[in-house]
Structure 1
Amino acid sequence: MPPVATPPRSTTGSNTSQFATTTIFDQLSANAAAHPGAPSPFDACHVGVVLRAVLFVHAVLAVGVSFVASEPLAWLLAFGQSAAVAMPATLSWLVVACLLKRPLARVAEPVQWLVATGLGALCGAYGWWQVRLVGLPLHPQAGPLAPMLGGAALAAALFYALRLRSRSQLPAVTQARLAELQSRIRPHFLFNTLNTAIALVRIDPARAESVLEDLAELFRVALIESGSTVTLAEEVELARRYLAIEEIRFGQRLKVSWDVDPAAGRARVPPLLLQPLVENAVRHGIEPAAQGGWVRIRTGTRRGQALISVSNSLPGVDHPSTAGHGIALRNVKERLRLMHDLAAQFAAGPERNTWRVHVVVPLD
């Protein structure tokens, strides 16, 4: 089998006991570090969150003013006056929550509730003041008390929804779908990898150890809790390890090229984002082709977004690709939507003789 260059590794142990100990402590470190990467309950920086918050507040106002309006024209006038106060108040609350999401995530839960409701009251008063400042018509007896109380109540409801979102409190069926990919390493891939390591033990022990280290890292990431996040740089390193194993298996049949922008590496993504994409590329693009093929991974940045592209050659008509069920692609798309909402983009499909997956996520 031709020699294949493997990516550099941070582990330096060479004996079996040190390798096992390192793997155990890597897992403990991953579990301990999961909390800092978890979403903040004040994370209101997504377009989808802003749209839903604005619609929710105005829907509550529309129902509320219907109790005091005697006719449609009076309801429309009252709703317009209330919306003039609510819009700047809601947007102000969302902006401040977004700016303070990291420091507020480190304080106790009662303090978070106090800040959320107090900020809602202040933003309600701010919205009332803005309307009075520009001279829009309001009820002669309308004061700041009602906007402050309403702002505090609506802010509490928004904060509760954001807390549920940050904790990923999803229906059991959805949670099971999300865990399906994250906990899975295909059995035949494990079987092939172990056979490769066994074959290398006698002729090249160092490379056999390298294969087992890469496999251990794949399992470590597969055990990360579904609510955790990782950086794109970590995902790129994991994909390098996976493809290093496959390069040993396929030899000259598999050609891998990388075009990685370090600036995109700080983007937060769900664990096991890239690995299933490159696995699909190898399984459906390289494995069926007798002559092999290529896989290309690119990352970049554009206007505050991280761009990720995974493309691969397709086998010819003489060696058609095995049709998959699309489970991995749907799973990755769903996890991106749950994490980044409307700020994430996902597209996959053939382009001439190439299969391409394109992902866009926001940069922190």
Structure 2
Amino acid sequence: MTPWVHSASIDRGLFKAMLSERGILAMIIASQAVAFIYTLSSGKDFWLSLGLVSLFTHANAFITLALIAFVVKYFKQLSFKTELGIVLVFFQSVCIFTSLIVQYTTFSPVEPIDWQFVFNNNAICGFVVILLLHFMAIYIDNLNTIAHAANAELEALQARIRPHFLHNALNTLAELCHENPNAAEEAALTMAKLMQVAFASGKKHSLSQEISLTKGYLTIEKYRFEHRLNVEWTVQNVDLDVRVPALILQPLVENAVVHGIEPARLGGSIKIKVNCREDKLLFTVDNPFNPESKSRSGQGIALENIRRRLVIYYGEQAALKTSQKSGRFFINVVLPLGALNEISGSRR
């Protein structure tokens, strides 16, 4: 089975792959290899011939890539077969055009036009392009396999953290039912709205939605801890419409409540800071910390979950760091703006 003909998973992925860094590098290498082989077989002055042929092959490659970039800009919804046909037509058309143009240059004017030269160039171009597309399609298939695996892992991580969130909220309601039935009723209504947002948000949503989700969670916990829980919010210099992974801030705050506030007899304050600096979105959550106090099991599970999701979404560009100082526990998350990977498997 030929991957670039039959694979449905690479549908509409050819243009994006060709315009990527690796795709452009592959074009340069393939163009230079053709120039080198053609020069060796010609038997002419090697270096002069290599320079001219390299100029010819690279011109073909980059003019074609420029045309592909133009199509990508104005036509978003194209099937893989359509993209494949466009690539072949563009390469062949550009090769014919440049083969005709070079015959009118001062280096080698030809009169009349040498159509055999045009045909030979087009045949070589067609063969090399088909070979290049074949290996490009294999590369795209591998990328899609990795993306599907990452998507499956994200589903598992998301499925793990949401029940954890629900479990803690239900524990809060259970305690309130005995201590303050009226507050339990209000908390249940708040939790119903919160669950609707948390479970319908998907893998990504806006920063404003994440902040709203976190504040809703804190509202529920406030019913239980009352004066023992104090929260200080600082949100400045940020675009609230920026896209972030869902449940990225709320678990950090939940971690602060469960392991910082709950074990402390007098409670304490949680400080949440959200700001933007040098094209990076920064989350900082700090809470009281006593290494000798006992809290619910699960210390570090949420943090490791978030670390793994950050790697999937941002690679090595994002970071989650923890530290302890003066009886407080700090969590710092750095997210690069505009670098959120599309892992969901959706088409362009």
Bin the TM-score by the shorter chain: 0.5 to 0.7
TM-score by structure 1 length? 0.60
SS at match of 2:29: helix
C-alpha change, 1:184 and 1:120, in structure 2 (3 Å) is: farther
SS at match of 1:170: helix
Q: State the Cα deviation string for residues 21-47 of structure 1 (Å, max 9, x = none).
A: xxxxxxxxxxxxxxxxxx9747849xx
SS at match of 1:104: coil
2:284 paired residue among 290, 296, 311: 311
Number of residue-to-residue matches in the alignment: 303
CA separation in 2, counterparts of 1:356 and 1:328?
Answer: 15
| 1:50 equivalenced with 2:26 (yes/no) | no
Match of 1:15 in 2: none
Match of 2:343 in 1: none
SS at match of 1:358: strand
C-alpha change, 1:55 and 1:258, in structure 2 (3 Å) is: same
Amino acid at match of 2:286: S
Compute the RMSD of aligned alpha carbons.
5.0
| 1:183 equivalenced with 2:162 (yes/no) | no
Amino acid at match of 1:59: I
Higher mean C-alpha displacement, 328-337 vs 75-84: 75-84
CA separation in 2, counterparts of 1:53 and 1:77?
Answer: 23
The 8 Å contact of residues 253 and 292 in structure 1, kept in 2 or not, is answered as yes
1:241 to partner: Cα distance: 3.4
Higher mean C-alpha displacement, 249-258 vs 108-117: 108-117
1:51 to partner: Cα distance: 1.5
TM-score by structure 2 length? 0.62
Decide which structure has the larger Cα Rg and report it.
2
| 1:212 equivalenced with 2:192 (yes/no) | yes
| 1:336 equivalenced with 2:313 (yes/no) | yes
The answer for unaligned runs of 5 or more in structure 1 is: 1-38
The 8 Å contact of residues 43 and 97 in structure 1, kept in 2 or not, is answered as no
CA separation in 2, counterparts of 1:178 and 1:156?
Answer: 30
C-alpha change, 1:280 and 1:243, in structure 2 (3 Å) is: same
Match of 2:3 in 1: none
1:88 to partner: Cα distance: 2.7
Match of 2:269 in 1: 293
CA separation in 1, counterparts of 2:336 and 2:52?
Answer: 42
1:256 to partner: Cα distance: 4.3
CA separation in 1, counterparts of 2:16 and 2:90?
Answer: 14
Match of 1:99 in 2: 73
1:179 to partner: Cα distance: 2.3
CA separation in 1, counterparts of 2:109 and 2:132?
Answer: 22
The answer for unaligned runs of 5 or more in structure 2 is: 1-10, 341-348
CA separation in 1, counterparts of 2:72 and 2:332?
Answer: 34
SS at match of 1:349: strand
1:358 to partner: Cα distance: 0.9
The 8 Å contact of residues 187 and 223 in structure 2, kept in 1 or not, is answered as no
The 8 Å contact of residues 253 and 286 in structure 1, kept in 2 or not, is answered as yes
SS at match of 2:146: coil
Match of 1:202 in 2: 181
1:84 paired residue among 58, 79, 100: 58
**Identity rate, percent:** 20
Match of 1:31 in 2: none
SS at match of 1:308: strand
| 1:345 equivalenced with 2:320 (yes/no) | no
| 1:60 equivalenced with 2:30 (yes/no) | yes
The 8 Å contact of residues 218 and 242 in structure 1, kept in 2 or not, is answered as no
C-alpha change, 1:212 and 1:137, in structure 2 (3 Å) is: farther
The 8 Å contact of residues 310 and 357 in structure 1, kept in 2 or not, is answered as yes
SS at match of 1:345: coil
Q: State the Cα deviation string for residues 39-79 of structure 1 (Å, max 9, x = none).
A: 9747849xx963211222223335545544549x6696478
Amino acid at match of 1:95: A
C-alpha change, 1:193 and 1:120, in structure 2 (3 Å) is: farther
SS at match of 1:311: strand
CA separation in 2, counterparts of 1:294 and 1:249?
Answer: 15
CA separation in 2, counterparts of 1:297 and 1:42?
Answer: 41
Amino acid at match of 1:170: I
SS at match of 2:173: helix
1:259 to partner: Cα distance: 1.1
Listed as ranges, the matches of 1:1-150 within 5 Å are 41=13, 44=16, 50-65=20-35, 67-68=37-38, 70=40, 77=51, 80-81=54-55, 84-85=58-59, 88-89=62-63, 91-93=65-67, 95-96=69-70, 98-100=72-74, 103-105=75-77, 107=78, 110-119=81-90, 128=98, 143=118, 145=122, 149=126
C-alpha change, 1:104 and 1:294, in structure 2 (3 Å) is: same
1:331 to partner: Cα distance: 1.9
C-alpha change, 1:329 and 1:40, in structure 2 (3 Å) is: farther
